[in-house]
């Protein structure tokens, strides 16, 4: 049986980081871990679904992996949903984001910037899931952390695309530099220097990295380190 593990490596960070932040800033419990296994399994289920959308000729070959992931995900998620039925509402709120992602996949336009932003917004709701599991409510801090997560990953998309899809696009590079400047300047103007510090690593990395001869694996490892720095700085200073 082919497993059809999702190949969008950037999405792994988009899945893990917001949920981790929500768990760390709320009251961390074992339920967080149980629910995450379920979420991870359902994320794996997108692998066979997207593979079929890209190549309909695969037909029923994607079904065994899809059923396996759904079964495992359900075993871990359903007990948590029974305990916290409000989470169903959050699932309904984010479902349009992932339906739009599938539509872009069908059109073979997955690499569009807007598609990445929509996916980031959908994944960022995991901050809300984690906060609700930990606190039984969604405080104002959860919205703040979610907004920072969205801002961070949009910057990451800007950065990565300057090396791949938009390589040589000077206008896009300037827009990326402007956005990363805003990640530092806006928080400082709002009296939030520690937020500027948490986002500064992303901006400085974008400005100092050479724009040529960077291998995808190197780019991925740098973004991984950038994500770790973002989480650590938020936890330490926010």
126 with 170, same domain? no
Give me the DSSP letters along 65-127: HHHHHHHHHHHHHHHHHHH-THHHHHHHHHHHHHHHHHHHHHTT-TT-HHHHHHHHHHHHTHH
Q: Are residues 196 and 99 in the same domain?
A: no
Rounded to 5°, angle at Cα 34 from 31 and 35 = 85
Asked whether residue 178 falls in the same domain as residue 130, the answer is no
Q: Are residues 121 and 16 in the same domain?
A: yes
Are 71 and 5 found together in one domain? yes
Q: What is the pLDDT, as a whole number, of residue 71?
A: 97
Same domain (yes/no): 30, 78: yes
Domain total in the chain: 2
Same structural domain, 26 and 15: yes
Q: What is the pLDDT along the chain (238 residues), one digit of tens a residue?
A: 788 888 776 788 999 999 999 999 999 999 999 999 999 999 999 999 989 998 888 888 899 999 999 999 999 999 999 999 999 999 999 999 999 999 999 898 888 999 999 999 999 999 999 999 999 999 999 999 999 999 999 999 999 898 888 888 889 999 999 999 999 999 999 999 999 999 999 999 888 887 777 777 788 888 889 999 999 999 988 7
Residues 101 and 179 in one domain: no
Domain range for 122: 1-108+116-137
Same-domain check for residues 164 and 206: yes
Q: Are residues 88 and 5 in the same domain?
A: yes
Note whether 170 and 232 are same-domain residues.
Answer: yes
pTM score: 0.94
Same domain as 93, residue 48 = yes
> For 52-64, how does the pLDDT look when each residue is reduced to its tens digit (9 = 90+)?
998 888 888 899 9
């Amino acid at each position: 049986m082919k497993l059809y593990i999702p190949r969008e490596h950037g999405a792994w960070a988009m899945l893990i980081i917001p949920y981790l932040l929500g768990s760390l800033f709320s009251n961390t419990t074992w339920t967080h871990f149980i629910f995450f296994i379920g979420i991870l399994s359902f994320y794996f289920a997108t692998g066979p679904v997207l593979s079929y959308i890209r190549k309909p000729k695969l037909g029923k070959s994607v079904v065994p992996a899809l059923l396996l992931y759904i079964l495992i995900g359900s075993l871990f998620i359903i007990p948590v949903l029974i305990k916290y039925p409000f989470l169903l509402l959050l699932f309904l709120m984010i479902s349009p984001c992932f339906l739009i992602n599938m539509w872009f996949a069908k059109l073979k336009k997955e690499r569009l910037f807007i598609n990445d932003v929509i996916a980031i917004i959908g994944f960022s709701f995991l901050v809300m899931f984690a906060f609700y599991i930990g606190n039984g409510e969604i405080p104002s801090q959860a919205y703040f952390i979610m907004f920072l997560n969205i801002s961070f990953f949009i910057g990451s998309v800007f950065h990565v695309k300057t090396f791949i899809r938009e390589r040589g696009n000077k206008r896009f590079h300037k827009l990326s530099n402007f956005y990363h400047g805003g990640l530092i300047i806006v928080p400082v103007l709002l009296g939030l220097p520690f937020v500027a510090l948490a986002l500064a690593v992303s901006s400085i990395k974008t400005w100092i990295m050479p724009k040529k001869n960077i291998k995808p694996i190197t780019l991925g490892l740098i973004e991984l380190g950038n994500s770790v720095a973002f989480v650590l700085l938020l936890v330490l200073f926010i």
